[in-house]
Amino acid sequence: MGEEFPRLDGARPLVGHMPEMYRHFPELCERGVRAHGPLFWVQGGPGAEQLMLATRDAASLLKDKALSTSFYAEGFGPLLADTLFAFDGAEHKRLRGLMAPAFTPKRIGQTEVMRVIDEVATRSIERWIEAGHFDAIRAAKEYALEIIFRLVGVPREHLDAFRVQFERYRLCAVPSEGWVLSPLVWAGVRARDWIDQRLGAMVDRCREDEDESTLLGAIANRRDASGQFIERKLVVANLRLLVLAGHETTAATLAWTLLHAATDVRLQEQALEQTLPPDDDSKVVDFAGQQFLEAARLYPTVHSVIRRTRSPLRVEGREVPAGLLVNVPLVHSLRDPGRFSEPSVYRPQRWEDWPPPGSVRAAMFGGGPHFCLGYHIALAEGTRFHRHLAAALRRHGRRLRRHGAVPAPVFLPLAHPPGKHVISLERAPLRRIKGQA
């Protein structure tokens, strides 16, 4: 099936295009489009042949009902069963419709979300300043993970235990055939059950107390039109999904903003001049928000989404048959020179407005029915973090500093900065920072 589409050259024995996808995924897309147009096969490793749908409008393509996420349920059952990722069509619509009200800007403003973000941001930044240095990737991960754990109801004293179990749960992503689970996947499943038991107890408590003041409460106590709660096992699996979907993405994006700021002091000067106070709730995109959006655009953590065609799909005048594994490279839309001038340059100022959810400018958050449920929380985490950082640097007369160029990303499994990158917090004479006396 799909034999009429060309195969991209350069596939190596066994590993196929994986090495190129790992290091140079956006360039691979460009190369393929130049050679063949938007539709071409790549070999993403053994058994992972996928048809690239490299259009410049991934957001619209992802709305097409011919695309299904069944691949996640087929290949990653232990990791994703019962989650929004694995559901499709009416089943997905029902669950998403029940969960979505807890994630609107108004609702997250009424729950504890902003307070938790502010608390974790200020505490983390003060700790780094006191230490005088921090590892960008590790620090950003700790920040994002603590926030999302707290939002799904994990008490602070249990955070360490949850961190350990969550690392093990990720072993569920190791490929395993059918019901024959590898020992690694079994270890992941045991950790998943540990997590689920505790999340389940939190859901029960929240329901007994009829508490809707938290994000967890708003989800757990949501009822459908017939007055029924969302099934307990679905609430639990999707709270777990929030942690999975909502920490590495935010963490990698923040790591990039930190690496750029620490490498180019002008970005920090600009942040001091053009960043609003943390609790400003105007709708303006300040420099804090611009940095986060730009890092998310240039280094989209989820650089592609994988789908299966459930029925024939039309892409740029060609028909893609049903049953194919397809790759929609979000990064290709986000580096469209027609939309973003000099697309490979990190330029926060290009963001004058918040991109509307579902638009191609918001394609780093996906598109169509599976568009990122945590979009507004992610923006709040990124923006408020940089507002607190600018305020703390000003208060302490410090600046971020790191030697060497910003590293090039690696793209598998998610796009992230490779290695360890220590940023120091130098005592900088305030006169060197514009806008200060």
Least distance from C-beta 250 to ligand HEM, angstroms? 4
Minimum separation from the CB atom of position 95 to ligand HEM (A) = 8
Rounded CA separation 372/357 (Å):
9
Q: How many CB atoms lie within 10 A of CB 340?
A: 18
Interface residue with ligand HEM, options 77, 188, 217, 374 (CB under 6 A)? 374
Residue 25 sits in the site that holds ligand HEM (CB under 6 A) = no
Q: Applying CB under 6 A, does 372 fall inside the site for ligand HEM?
A: yes
Q: Per rule CB under 6 A, is residue 376 in the interface with ligand HEM? A: no
Write down the least CB distance from residue 101 to ligand HEM, Å: 14
Using the minimum distance from each CB to ligand HEM, give the nearer residue, 346 or 394: 346
Of the candidate spans 244-252, 256-264, 344-352, 396-404, the one that interacts with ligand HEM by CB under 6 A turns out to be: 244-252
Smallest distance from ligand HEM to CB 148, Å: 6
**CA pair distance 381, 361, nearest whole angstrom:** 19
Task: Please state, in angstroms and rounded to a whole number, the distance separating the CA atoms of residues 411 and 21.
Answer: 7
CA 240 from centre of chain: 15
Shortest CB 234 distance to ligand HEM, Å: 12
Residues in the chain: 437
- Could you tell me which stretch among 14-22, 229-237, 362-370, 427-435 binds ligand HEM (CB under 6 A)? 362-370
Q: Site for ligand HEM (CB under 6 A): which residue of 377, 389, 400, 425?
A: 377
Asked whether the beta carbons of 409 and 416 are under 8 A apart, the reply is: yes
The residue among 39 and 148 lying less far from ligand HEM, judged by its C-beta, is 148
Q: What one-letter code names the amino acid at 433? A: I
Q: Are 407 and 137 in contact (CB under 8 A)?
A: no
**302 touching ligand HEM, by CB under 6 A:** yes
Q: Where are the beta strands (DSSP E) in 99-173?
A: 133-135
Contact 165, 145 (CB under 8 A): no
Applying CB under 6 A, the site for ligand HEM has a residue count of 24
Q: How far is the CB of 93 from ligand HEM (least distance, A)?
A: 9
Q: Smallest Cα–Cα separation from 124: which of 145, 139, 113, 141?
A: 139
CB-nearer residue toward ligand HEM: 242 or 272: 242
**Any idea what DSSP says for residue 8?**
P
Considering the complex, what minimum distance in angstroms separates the CB of residue 113 from ligand HEM? 9
Residue 296 binds ligand HEM (CB under 6 A) = yes
Query: Which member of 120, 245, 259, 390 binds ligand HEM (CB under 6 A)?
Result: 245
Q: What is the 3-state secondary structure (H, E, C) of 76-136?
A: CHHHHCCCCCCCCHHHHHHHHHHHHHHHCHHHHHHCCHHHHHHHHHHHHHHHHHHHCEEEH
Q: CA of 168: how far to CAs of 79, 173, 185, 189, 241, in Å?
A: 11, 10, 9, 8, 15
The residue behind tokens 């609702």 is 107
Out of 18, 59, 98, 305, the only residue in the binding site for ligand HEM (CB under 6 A) is 305
Report the site for ligand HEM in 81-120 (rule: CB under 6 A). Answer: 84-85, 96
Distance CA 50, CA 306 (A): 9
* Helix boundaries (H) for 170-298: 183-209, 215-220, 232-263, 265-274, 287-298
Q: Interface with ligand HEM includes 250 (CB under 6 A)?
A: yes
One of 98, 236, 373, 389 touching ligand HEM (CB under 6 A):
373
220 vs 211: CA distance, rounded Å: 9
Whole-angstrom distance, CA of residue 110 vs CA of residue 108: 5
What mask, x for binding ligand HEM by CB under 6 A, covers residues 123 to 152?
-------------------------x----
Q: By CB under 6 A, name the binding residues for ligand HEM.
A: 84-85, 96, 148, 241-242, 245-246, 249-250, 253, 296, 301-302, 305, 364-366, 370, 372-374, 377-378
